[in-house]
């Protein structure tokens, strides 16, 4: 069965510094990959997704993630974070070939330090 | 579209009482999911429906939990009797497909005292 590992439960970073949130999934022939963001007291919102094509995907608020098949990774990056990026970030994966449900990681809480 | 609508946003109830959480999925979405989120266990999938039929309820913690989807635009999650350990945020989500990406509601924060 598919699984997702988010190695860091919390990541503190200073405002305007770069950040990387790590995500690894168990190997599969073909997958869909997602990053969701949950702001305080809100539901999860889709931040970006990889379905096919270019391995680098971007969101409208400056985040990007790169699908690395050989490393089975889908790390999320932002070159300069803002206080409004404070949230919990969930990596998720589904097995495209099996048309299986999405499996979510345990989440990484991003703390922006002033 | 207003998105996935959940009600109530907050629910406080006494142990032993029946609790009913409600969800209206996005029109046209064939899949509906119920999740529970706690600090200790993170995000857990409880049950999901396809075309109003329950497909996988292996995540439902025990017989006190039940979920129904009487039509394409409405689902309920019921806990009877409720216990303090059921305190959590319950999310409903819907989707066109099983693995393509889900839209979440704002959640119901349940507190059982």
CA distance B91 to B24: 11
CA distance B20 to B3: 20
C-alpha angle with apex A96: B52 to A74, nearest 5 degrees? Answer: 115
Question: A65-90, pLDDT tens digit by residue?
Answer: 999 999 999 999 999 999 999 999 99
Q: What residues are paired with A49 via a beta bridge? A: A34
**Which one of B99, B105, B106, B111 would you mutate to disrupt binding with A, by most A Cβ within 10 Å of its Cβ?**
B99
DSSP label of B97: S
Rg (CA), chain A: 14
Question: B43-89, pLDDT tens digit by residue?
Answer: 999 999 999 999 999 999 889 999 999 999 999 999 999 999 999 99
**Could you say which of B42, B91, B99 has the minimum Cβ distance to residue A95?**
B99
Share of chain A above pLDDT 70, in %: 97
Q: Which two tokens stand for residue B24?
A: 């209206």
* Contacting B residues, span 39-58, partner chain A, CB-CB under 8 Å: 42-43, 45, 48, 56
> CA of A48: which chain B residue's CA is closest?
B101
Chain B CB contacts of A96 under 8 Å are 99
Q: Answer whether A26 touches B (CB < 8 Å).
A: no
CB A54 within 8 A of CB A110: no
pLDDT at B1: 67
**Could you say which of A42, A102, A107 has the minimum Cβ distance to residue B102?**
A102
CA distance A88 to A94: 20
Give chain A's mean pLDDT: 92
From the CA of A47, how many Å to the nearest CA of chain B?
Answer: 11
In Å, what is the CA distance from A54 to each residue of A25, A26, A75, B10, B11? 19, 21, 15, 42, 44
């Amino acid at each position: 069965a598919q699984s997702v590992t988010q190695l860091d439960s919390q990541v503190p970073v200073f405002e305007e510094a770069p950040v990387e949130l790590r995500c690894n999934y168990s190997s599969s022939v073909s997958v869909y990959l997602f990053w969701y963001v949950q702001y305080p007291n809100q539901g999860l919102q889709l931040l970006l997704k990889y379905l096919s094509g270019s391995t680098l995907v971007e969101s409208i608020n400056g985040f990007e993630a790169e699908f690395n098949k050989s490393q089975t990774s889908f790390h999320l990056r932002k070159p300069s974070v803002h206080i409004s990026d404070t949230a919990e970030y969930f990596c998720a994966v589904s097995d495209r070939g099996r048309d299986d449900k999405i499996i979510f990681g345990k989440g990484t809480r991003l703390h922006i330090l002033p | 579209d207003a998105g996935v609508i959940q009600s109530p946003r907050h629910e406080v109830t006494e142990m032993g009482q029946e609790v009913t959480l409600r969800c209206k999925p996005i029109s046209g979405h064939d899949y509906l999911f119920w999740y529970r989120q706690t600090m200790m266990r993170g995000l857990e999938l409880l049950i999901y429906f396809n075309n109003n039929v329950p497909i996988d309820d292996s995540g439902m913690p025990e017989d006190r939990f039940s979920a129904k989807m009487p039509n394409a635009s409405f689902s309920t999650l019921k806990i009877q009797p409720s216990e303090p350990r059921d305190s959590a945020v319950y999310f409903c989500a819907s989707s066109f497909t099983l693995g393509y990406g889900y839209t979440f509601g704002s959640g119901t924060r349940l507190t059982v005292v």
